[in-house]
Structure 1
Amino acid sequence: MAEISTTHPRVLRLKQVLDRVGLSRSTIYDRMNPASPRYDDSFPKPMKIGSSAVGWLESSINKWIESLVDNTLRGK
């Protein structure tokens, strides 16, 4: 009998996002801050996962990284 593979959404905490994207904590928050010169509207927004905890969907982070690669390959 063949197994059916399903993927469930995975939430990454800040340390995991830092490891994944290779940016510093302050740069991550600058990417999300419209007042920052480093603001990036395409950077994934965190979601609240507890009273004082946030996380990012792994799929959103992966898509953002893929868009950087695509833009680099297209010379943007």
Structure 2
Amino acid sequence: MDKPSTTTLRMLRRAEVQARLGIARSTLYAYLDERSSSHIPEFPKPVRLGSTIAFLEHEIDSFVIGLMQAREVTRER
């Protein structure tokens, strides 16, 4: 059996993710929709909780860190 992780997993509701990223609900869903011109394949996939969705906090944090790192690479060019 796997050893329990010492890291606490936290789930963020849709509105909380929107607030962290400063985006509208429609933008969030566009990021997730493969048919949208705004689709971001690297954007974390939601976890379904009954009739609502949530995102893993560490995945959202990693996504934001990736955006910051991409910004730094762009500045160096």
Do both share a fold (TM > 0.5)?
A: yes
Equivalent-residue separation in structure 2 for 1:42 and 1:63 (angstroms)? 10
Higher helix share: 2
Aligned length: 70
Superposition deviation, residue 7 in structure 1: 3.0
Q: Which ranges of 4 or more aligned residues in structure 1 deviate by more than 4 Å?
A: none
Q: Report the secondary structure of 2:54's partner residue.
A: strand
Identity among equivalent pairs (%): 31
Report 1:1-76 matches (<5 A): 6-49=6-49, 51-75=50-74
List runs of 5+ in structure 1 lacking aligned partners: 1-5
Letter in 1 for 2:70: N
Equivalent-residue separation in structure 2 for 1:70 and 1:23 (angstroms)? 20
Superposition deviation, residue 40 in structure 1: 0.3
- Per-residue displacement from partner, 1:35-58 (whole Å, max 9, x unpaired)? 100000000110012x20210000
TM-score, normalised relative to structure 2: 0.85
Letter in 2 for 1:52: S
Letter in 2 for 1:20: R
